[in-house]
Structure 1
């Protein structure tokens, strides 16, 4: 079942500026955080040193500002990244609330990253870090809708075929004959959110579901 959103509702559910959940997600893993810290520290120190050497010139204040911007990269980097991710769904002209069920559940191994390291004989070998992802096929009374995939945790083992699911459906067409994207999904029966990125303002989405679906 698809229930078209009213004008302005999509922007309320997917904000332009990163939320706390989105900021934490965009921060990434410890390795990514360390990389940002290194970029911020190296870039900031170099820019500040240059600004100190050119304080007498008109470029001194400019380099000072650049240094401060670099030092704050750890904070504004994830905010910009999350905002760009949100924009990929906010750009769609048509959105609808979807209520259906899980048609199929699958798991797959995906390579998260890889690197070379020397083995006991001194020879280089490729080491791959893999992670299990869960794939949910969604459908309603009109048939197949699409797929949501996300890194699998132990709590996801309770997801079964027939589980009630709600999410947003985005499309370039008003009749939704072609689906452009799906948001993260809410499984009300399990009180669980799933998805590879927290697009939605979750309390607002749950409230919208109660208001719009209660009338059906």
Structure 2
């Protein structure tokens, strides 16, 4: 099921600037940190040379920015990711189910080393990933991939899956982007990037569940032993 959302609600779901959880996610592993650190060192070395067409003040500011790229780089990357989601004018809250779950090994990088014989050896760095296939009765289907975590072991086909779908079409006939997936039965988020404000999403999810849950009719009260109705002060004619 897909419920359209207003542009105002979509903007509430996708933050303008990076949040703390997004910053931590983009920070990455030690290899990612080392790459940013090397970039910062190289930038400082380049800026340290006297450049006649750049003033000393501008050169100092540029040097500081390059030197601290390892720190502010993830915030910029996460903010740019958010901007790609916010550019969609239309979107909706979707609920379906997990159709399939499987684990795969994905190539995340290669390293070149020289062995004892002096020969070049290429080492492939692989990472185990969780793959979900989610869909609904309308035929909508999309895969979701994320780094494998220990808590993912509880996920099974048939689990309820919720996410936000993004489109450029007012009727949401063409889905161009999806958010990370929320599994309410396990309170788990699965996805490549935590793009959503999760407190806002939880409010939408809870509102959706309240509308979908039928109200229970209360059973009629038992008759009074004195023959009087509970809803009237007069004696009941049924005895």
Distance apart, 1:120 and its partner CA: 4.5
Note if contact 2:7-2:90 (Cα within 8 Å) is conserved in structure 1. no
Give the RMSD, CA atoms, in angstroms.
Answer: 2.1
Correspondence 1:54-65 to 2 at 5 A: 59-65=55-61
Aligned to 2:158: 162
Determine the C-alpha separation between the residues in 2 that align with 1:145 and 1:174.
20
Aligned to 1:197: 193
Runs of 4+ in 1 over 4 A off after TM superposition: none
Distance apart, 1:88 and its partner CA: 1.7
Distance apart, 1:129 and its partner CA: 1.3
Aligned to 1:16: 16
Distance apart, 1:109 and its partner CA: 1.7
Q: TM-score, normalised by structure 2?
A: 0.81
Report the more deviating stretch, 126-135 or 34-43. Answer: 34-43
Determine the C-alpha separation between the residues in 2 that align with 1:174 and 1:87.
20
Which of the residues 96, 103, 108 maps onto 1:107?
103
Report the more deviating stretch, 12-21 or 27-36. Answer: 27-36
Residue 145, structure 1, aligned to residue 141, structure 2: yes
Residue 131, structure 1, aligned to residue 122, structure 2: no
**Distance change in 2, residues 1:120/1:41 (3 Å):** closer
Determine the C-alpha separation between the residues in 1 that align with 2:113 and 2:44.
32
What secondary structure is seen at the aligned counterpart in 1 of 2:175? coil
Distance apart, 1:208 and its partner CA: 1.8
Distance apart, 1:48 and its partner CA: 5.2
Note if contact 2:15-2:82 (Cα within 8 Å) is conserved in structure 1. yes
Determine the C-alpha separation between the residues in 1 that align with 2:39 and 2:158.
47
Aligned to 2:41: 41
Determine the C-alpha separation between the residues in 2 that align with 1:136 and 1:112.
19
Q: Which runs of 5+ in 2 are unaligned?
A: 213-239
User: Bigger radius of gyration, 1 or 2?
Assistant: 2
**Distance change in 2, residues 1:174/1:58 (3 Å):** closer
**Distance change in 2, residues 1:102/1:50 (3 Å):** same
Q: TM-score, normalised by structure 1?
A: 0.89
**Distance change in 2, residues 1:5/1:78 (3 Å):** same
Determine the C-alpha separation between the residues in 1 that align with 2:13 and 2:151.
25
Note if contact 1:170-1:180 (Cα within 8 Å) is conserved in structure 2. yes
Q: Which runs of 5+ in 1 are unaligned?
A: none
- May I ask how many residue pairs the two structures share in their alignment? 212
Note if contact 1:102-1:136 (Cα within 8 Å) is conserved in structure 2. yes
What secondary structure is seen at the aligned counterpart in 2 of 1:215? helix
Distance apart, 1:211 and its partner CA: 2.0
**Distance change in 2, residues 1:70/1:91 (3 Å):** same
